[in-house]
Structures are given as C-alpha cells and as structure tokens.
Amino acid sequence: MKHIVIALVSDNLDPIFLGLKEFLTERIILITSSKDYKIAEKAKGELEKFKIDVQIREINDNLWENIFKIISQIKNQEGGPEKLILNVASGKDPLKCAAISAAFVNGIKAFDVDENKPMLLPILKFSYYNILTDKKMKILQLLSEPNCCKSLEEISNKTKMSLPLISYHINGTKKSEGLKQLGLVDREEKGSRVEIKLTTLGRLLLNGYISS
C-alpha cells in the first residue's frame, strides 16, 4: 500500500528522504512554520524529482491548535487514517511534540528516525468520547462560552447540577477520571473562589480536532 506521508519540516531534510526508502509514498504533505517555509519549498522541488505529488501546509503562531486542526483536516479529507503516516524525524520541539499528540488522538501512524533507521511509534488506542459522558460534555460546552465561568456555583446554576456532582465531573475519583485528570480543564484557586477554565486540549476537542 502506498502511503500519504505527513512530514514536519526543519533545516534537516535528510529524514524526509530516508522515509521514502522505507515507506511506499503516493503523496507528501509538508508541514512548516513561516520561518522554514523556504526550506519546505526547497524540499518540494527536490521531492518532485521523484514524481511525487507534494503539498505544503503552513502553521501559524498558535502552534498546538493549528497542528491539531491541520492533521484532523488531512485525516478527514483522506477518508480516515488508514493510508496516512506521520514523519516527525525532521521536526523540532515543540512542533514535534504537538504533531505526535495530534497523530495519537486521531489514530494516525507515526515514525521517528533512530541511527538512520525509521522507527514506528506505538499507536495507543484511546478515545475521549468513550469517557466523556453527556454531563461532562455539557460542562465543557458551558466553559467554552465567553465570560464563563467564575465559580463552581455558577457552573452548578447554569448546568442545573448539584455542586457535589460538578466537583465529581471536574475532579474525578480514584475509579473515574474527571475533566481535570483528562487534561481538559484547569482548576485555579482565587482566594475563596475556585475558577475552572478550558485547557488548549479542551478547546481542541470541542472544535472537533480530536478523533472520536
């Protein structure tokens, strides 16, 4: 099977070409920052010599949200993750870290390069949507609204759930992970008041950039 390779771009392009030797490639999608865009254009010219179709996708300053959005869009455009594989070897942190996370939650295979040998990273089967109940989703959707929420009491009033139930869904228990343990919300104490806010991961999930 030929793969559609998503490859991160930096000043070291060797891992991109090394990946071509290991994985039959139908098309390559290069992901680059504006700073490295000229390097991506150079890579595109070199790769097209191998008669491979090459696309360039540029990320903006909002790195985490942008990389999750791009990888989710690619997966949807290609009808699923089956033919996709992510080459992170030529990327640098934090782009590399964000791309691996985005591949992980979308079920996309990824590989790095170790001593000039491609190394497949394990795919961890996981779905937030299997864990998130309707009530947890209701809390997340509420927290995405402008100027919400200043307190647990406000969340309780707007969701019509009791304070103990709100605390359970946010903080979890030993047997059940809450929104905080899942990395979807942050809990911040401000004097006698506790404020709950969506994390970047929480926003990504609500925006549909994380696979079900």
Q: Rounded to an integer, what distance in angstroms lies between the CA atom of residue 162 and that of residue 80?
A: 40
Q: What is the pLDDT of residue 28?
A: 96
Q: Rounded to an integer, what distance in angstroms lies between the CA atom of residue 69 and that of residue 64?
A: 9
Size (the chain), residues: 212
- Structure tokens that stand for 147 in this block: 């100027």
pLDDT under 70: residue ranges of the chain: 123-127, 129, 211-212
Q: What is the pLDDT of residue 156?
A: 92
- Structure tokens that stand for 157 in this block: 């009033």
- In order of their start, the domains of the chain are 3-121 (3.40.50.10770), 128-206 (1.10.10.10)
Q: What is the pLDDT of residue 138?
A: 93
Left if phi > 0, otherwise alpha if psi is -120 to 50, otherwise beta: which for 145?
A: beta
Left if phi > 0, otherwise alpha if psi is -120 to 50, otherwise beta: which for 195?
A: beta
